[in-house]
Amino acid sequence: MSARTPEPKTVLLRRGEVHSPADPFATAMVVERAQVAWVGSEGAADAFADGVDEVIDLDGALVTPAFTDAHVHTTSTGLALTGLDLSTAPTLEAALARLRDFAAARPQDKVLLGHGWDASRWPGGRPPTRAELDEATGGRPLYLSRIDVHSAVVTTALLDLTPGLGPVDGPLTADAHHAVRAAAFAAVTPRQRVEAQRTALAHAASLGIGSVHECAGPEISSEDDFTDLLRLAAEEPSPRVVGYWAEQDVEKARELGALGAAGDLFVDGALGSHTACLHAPYTDAAHTGTAYLSAAEVVAHVTACTEAGLQAGFHAIGDAAVTAVVEGVRTAAEKLGLARIRAARHRVEHAEMLTPETIAAFAELGLTASVQPAFDALWGGEDGMYAQRLGAERARTLNPFAALLRAGVPLAFGSDSPVTPLDPWGTVRAAAFHRTPGHRVSVRAAFTAHTRGGWRAIGRDDAGVLVPGAPADYAVWRTDELIVQAPDDRVARWSTDPRSGTPGLPDLTPGSDLPVCLRTVVGGRTVFVRPGE
């Protein structure tokens, strides 16, 4: 079957494992049009076989809800997939060599785009100089974003295309970074942009991702980029795209078709770039980072969004930034009433540096924590970037997923791609095997945060789970034996008892093979079939 054809009207999937709370031992599922119609056992499936348009023999494969990636920059992801990837460059010299080869291979590009360098992981720990980049590119415009996308190095030719910037050297941050990024992306042609969007969405579909939350905004992309992406996803079979527009202009967000004036509305920057806003100074820098929004501005935005019936949301990483968000939302709740604030399901993206007090406030105010477990896998641990920036003691407090769940804070998992790659099972693994053992959650809880959690974050409680009446967004996987994994052995032993009725999931122990996606279906339409299946 072509990966781009609509699914037949009614489909029976049988002889597999169907991950459903409706029946923990289900082996079959019927999909009618865009909804799940029935989930049950193989014996009962015979009754449906004659009345469907197609029967899919799963041959032991696992069927799960499709994943939702709750924080994506779709065009940037596509440009990273088609551009220069420096995330695996082991040294500065290797990065420059890759850049020379990339520039030589793309003589027609008006601007060279690359991503993923991380000088903190290189011997010597320094980024490339502008002179080194000018030499490697032959003097062409180049935008090369750091792995956290909060700073970049560029060539002289790109500075010449950026109004108001002189011959600065070193990584650019804050407004200067936003200016060079805008200049670089303005040089991308509409054809390149559509190619990048299609590439990113097709890649997401190949990984069993059925929905992405696009976190756009004037400092990140452009209005045309945002509206073109929403139109593309609506017109072509692809993962769903839910749009957020990060601007303190409620009417603009509504006009562009956004679900909220939210996403990367920056309260601060990022730890890697020393721009996350902290209460106490960095361990390796004599300052506390950068505050982009005050608590008063948070109050105004949350109030305006709540009254307009839109979600508000903020990018907040440092503890001072998270405090500003919490104080602002609490003040808005005092003005509008706690029930209205909770019902709006406002969001906080990243929410890395939390305290018991701010976690309790998230629960009280109904804030969704839209978090990225891969950040811990990449930057956590005693010798990681977090420890370099904050010291080991503060670093150990970051990304406390278990405490958030215990407090009842809704979790939605994402990648922040291209900061970390689209990788849903890897994300679930990163949460279940967090570098700080006390922050680990069960595979089941992490899987729920990456499926149902993303739907709940947009106000939908009826989706992200395979039960009758739910949207037919699902993925089919080749995987090994299903098990129940939990941080606590006592929980794991209880859960694997068949009497518990806990459906199993793949073994995600580090080092084990992750499931392979065979098929992804969104709203009953097939958007991906692995070649040869």
The answer to whether the CB of 66 falls within 8 A of the CB of 521 is: yes
Q: CA distances (Å), 336 to each of 214, 332, 349, 526, in order?
A: 28, 6, 23, 44
Predicted TM-score (pTM) of the model is 0.89
* Helix, strand, or coil (residue 13): strand
Mean pLDDT along residues 450-464: 97
Mean pLDDT of 58-73: 98
Two structure tokens written together for 529: 């079939």
Among 37, 43, 36, 40, which Cα is nearest to 22's? 40
Ranges 14-23, 132-141, 161-170, 473-482: which has the least confidence: 161-170
Residue 517 has pLDDT above 60, yes or no: yes
- Between CA 397 and CA 210 the distance in angstroms is 32
What are the tens digits of pLDDT across the range 271-325? 999 999 999 999 999 999 999 999 999 999 999 999 999 999 999 999 999 999 9
Is the model's pLDDT at 523 over the cut of 50? yes
Q: How many residues does the chain have?
A: 533
Greatest alpha-carbon pair distance for the chain in Å reads 73
Check residue 6 and give its pLDDT: 58
Looking at residue 2, its amino acid is S
pLDDT digits (tens, 9 = 90+) for 324-338: 999 999 999 999 999
Considering the chain, what is the average pLDDT of its residues?
93
Say whether the peptide bond before residue 123 is cis (omega within 30 degrees of 0): no
Q: What confidence score (pLDDT) does residue 7 get? A: 54
Cβ contact 202:238 at 8 Å: yes
- DSSP characters over 318-377: SHHHHHHHHHHHHHHHHHH-HHHHHHHT-EEEE--S--HHHHHHHHHHT-EEEE-HHHHH
DSSP string across 260-283: EE-SS-BSS--TTTT-S--SS--T
pLDDT at 500: 57
Residue 76: burial class (beta carbons within 10 Å; 0-12, 13-18, 19+): buried
Segment 236-265 mean pLDDT: 97
Give CA–CA dist 137/144, Å, rounded: 12
Q: Are strands 10-14 and 28-32 parallel, antiparallel or unpaired?
A: antiparallel
With 50 as the cut, is the pLDDT of residue 478 above it?
A: yes
What is the token pair recorded at 375?
């950040």
Residue 124 has pLDDT above 70, yes or no: yes
Do 139 and 155 contact (CB within 8 A), yes or no? Answer: yes
H-helix segments, 50-173: 74-82, 92-105, 130-137, 156-160
* Percent of all residues in the chain with a pLDDT value above 90, rounded to a whole number: 84
Annotate 300-314 with b (16+ C-beta within 10 A) or e (fewer). ebbbbbbebebbbbb
CA–CA gap between residue 352 and residue 370 (Å, rounded): 10
315 vs 147, which has greater pLDDT? 315
Residue 110: what pLDDT? 87
Mean pLDDT across 457-477: 97
Provide the pLDDT for residue 490. 47
pLDDT at residue 249 is higher than 90 = yes
Helix, strand, coil percent values for the chain (each to nearest 5): 40, 20, 40
In whole angstroms, what separates CA 255 from the centre of its chain?
24
354-to-240, 251, 358, 434, 453 alpha-carbon distances in Å: 31, 31, 6, 16, 20
On the question of pLDDT at 177 being above 80, the answer is yes
Average pLDDT, stretch 230-248?
Answer: 97
Judge residue 511's burial from the number of C-beta atoms within 10 Å of its C-beta, 0-12 exposed, 13-18 middle, 19 or more buried. exposed
Q: Is 399 left (phi over 0), alpha (psi -120 to 50) or beta?
A: left
Question: Residue 157 above 90 pLDDT?
Answer: yes
Cβ atoms 220, 243 nearer than 8 A: no
Tell whether the model's pLDDT for residue 499 goes beyond 80: no
Task: Concatenate the DSSP letters of all residues of 200-243 into one string.
Answer: HHHHHHHTTEEEEEEEE-TTTS-HHHHHHHHHHHHHSSS-EEEE
pLDDT of residue 4: 46
Q: Determine the pLDDT at residue 488.
A: 62
Report d(CA 428, CA 426) in Å as an integer.
5
> What pLDDT is attached to residue 80?
86
Closest listed residue to residue 206, CA positions, set 15, 454, 421, 469 = 421
Helix or strand run (H / E) with residue 314: strand 311-316
pLDDT band at 489 (very low <50, low <70, confident <90, very high): low
Strand partners, 316: 350
pLDDT band per the 50, 70, 90 thresholds, residue 225 = very high
Residue 391 CB partners (closer than 8 Å, separation 6+): 283
431-457 average pLDDT score: 97
**Average pLDDT in the 454-462 region?**
97
